[in-house]
Amino acid sequence: MINEYQQGTNMDEQKPYTCFFQVMVSLLGTPMNPNDEDQPYIVGRENIKAIMVDMVKELESVAGRNRMVEESDLPKLAYLDMVIKESFRLHPVALLLVPHEWTEDVTVNGYT
């Protein structure tokens, strides 16, 4: 499934990603912690397959195959929540800190 997807699409043209599978495929070859050069763990096909299998199992146990996931199901989808948070950690949507500049000097308790 991953091979078929990669052959059929150009990942650079797909940004911003429109489905979760695109995000998972974009993680291939990415270090799990990009800030840690000593950590050799790289996201591979077997990792993505295991993650997807676990997510499908969780979705089937909560929502089943015959209906869409609803907002009331979200508190029961802990694994999906963790995967989404990890995806945002590895690929933030925007800068975490907005650049700022002081426009005037401020004194607090005698410190400038």
Residue pLDDT, tens place only, 54-100: 888 999 999 998 999 999 999 999 999 988 888 787 777 776 666 77
Question: In the chain, pLDDT over 70 holds for what percent of residues?
Answer: 54
Query: Could you tell me if residue 9 is inside a domain?
Result: yes
Query: Could you tell me if residue 42 is inside a domain?
Result: yes
What would the DSSP string read from start to end of 2-46? HHHHHHH--GGGGPSP-SHHHHHHHTTT-BSSTT-TT---B--HH
What is the rounded distance in angstroms from the CA atom of residue 21 to the CA atom of residue 2? Answer: 9
Query: Could you tell me if residue 102 is inside a domain?
Result: no
Query: Could you tell me if residue 47 is inside a domain?
Result: yes
Query: Could you tell me if residue 111 is inside a domain?
Result: no
Closest CA to 23 of 3, 1, 48: 48
Neighbours of 27 (CB within 10 A): 19
- 107 to 9, 51, 73, 100: CA distances (angstroms): 56, 52, 50, 18
**pTM for the model:** 0.49
Instruction: State the pLDDT at residue 18.
Output: 57
Which amino acid, residue 84? I
Question: In the chain, pLDDT over 90 holds for what percent of residues?
Answer: 15
Query: Could you tell me if residue 14 is inside a domain?
Result: yes
Look over the chain and give the mean of its residue pLDDT values, rounded to a whole number: 73
Query: Could you tell me if residue 105 is inside a domain?
Result: no
Instruction: State the pLDDT at residue 62.
Output: 93
The whole-number average pLDDT for the span 98-109 is: 80
How many structural domains comprise the chain? 1
Which residue segment(s) compose the domain that 52 sits in?
2-90
